Amino acid sequence: MPGGRCGRVGGMADGDNREETYEAGRRMAWQEVLGMAVGALGAEDPAAGQARWILEREATVAALREVCEDHGDNDWPDDLHLADVVEKHLHRHLGE
């Protein structure tokens, strides 16, 4: 890893942790921008409804990432169907 030795923290390499933290912060910033756009569009605009679904999915993915970190695995892409995340990356680990 450039810039130093890669140590392990909480089962994760330091570089991996920094990258995940950066990516989570970046996504949160874009969610904030999208939330402001929804407010500017108004409740009746169809684009506002689509944006609300996107915001809700982003919040759900973030919550699932936290739960899967403690009780499952996070080896899934952000665009995976949510039922597959629950079934394949959380539920099957809960019986262990």
Residue 2 lies in a domain: no
Tokens of 47: 């684009």
Residue 54 lies in a domain: yes
Q: Residue 38, Cβ neighbours under 10 Å: how many?
A: 19
Q: How high is the pLDDT of residue 64?
A: 95
Residue 69 lies in a domain: yes
Residue 31 lies in a domain: yes
Asked if 88 and 76 count as a contact pair (C-beta separation under 8 A), the reply is yes
Q: How high is the pLDDT of residue 32?
A: 83
Flag whether pLDDT at 2 surpasses 60.
no
The count of domains in the chain is 1
Q: Domain limits at 68?
A: 8-94
Look up residue 13 and give its amino acid.
A
- Averaged over 62-76, what is the pLDDT? 94
